[in-house]
Amino acid sequence: MSEKLIETIFSRRSIRKYTQKSVSDEDIKTLLEAAMAAPSASNRKPWHFAVTTEREKLDRLAEAHQYAKMLFEAPLCISVCGDEGVSSRFWVQDCSAATENILLAATALGLGAVWIGVHPSENRVSDVKEILGIPEGVTPLNLISIGHPAEEKESRTQYEESRVHREKW
């Protein structure tokens, strides 16, 4: 077991404050490569990724979503979207796995990130689709706010033995 991998997992925290430094194109590509390395039911890969760095769009997303105010500071947002025509049954699970890979890759790259839920709120889905020009049949699962962290949080595990059921409930 790689101790570095485990430390990355425990270090992944929701970071909502960022410096003004932009995220490099190389890091953005690495984040997207990590996302597309996620498991996918029947290898359908129903995901699409809307990458936003334009300040106007970031601000519009922050204004439209009550829990996305950190996008006023963030230099990058990736919206993980699912194509229901490719996988109507498992797009949420597949896109969730891709999202977690982005969050872990961001941590490994020294970036901060936070998952901002969009689906299944019809209003949030509609607003994000309109702002980002997402076509019919494709649903934004979330927004991921990403940047160089301007806050630090300690590594942790949230392990609770009471949540573990061995052999039976």
Backbone angles phi, psi at 140, to 5 degrees: -70, 120
Neighbouring C-beta atoms of residue 140, cutoff 10 Å: 24
* 6: Cα separation from own chain's centroid: 19
Q: Which helix (H) or strand (E) holds 96?
A: helix 91-108
Q: Which helix (H) or strand (E) holds 80?
A: strand 76-83
Residue-wise pLDDT tens digits, 42-81: 999 999 999 999 999 999 999 999 999 999 999 999 999 9
Average pLDDT over residues 88-103: 98
What is residue 139's three-state secondary structure?
strand
Residue-wise pLDDT tens digits, 132-150: 999 999 999 999 999 999 9
- Tell me the C-alpha distance between 156 and 49, whole Å: 29
> Considering the chain, what percentage of its residues have pLDDT values greater than 70?
99
Sign of the CA dihedral running 132, 137, 141, 146: negative
pLDDT confidence bin for 2, thresholds 50/70/90:
confident
Domains defined for the chain, CATH in brackets: 15-147 (3.40.109.10)
Q: Which pTM was predicted?
A: 0.96
Average pLDDT over residues 154-158: 95
C-alpha triplet 153, 159, 161: angle, nearest 5° = 160
Paired sense of beta strands 76-83 and 112-117, if any: unpaired
Sign of the CA dihedral running 58, 61, 66, 68: negative
pLDDT confidence bin for 1, thresholds 50/70/90:
low
pLDDT confidence bin for 37, thresholds 50/70/90:
very high
Query: Please, what is the average pLDDT of the chain?
Result: 97
What is residue 165's three-state secondary structure?
coil
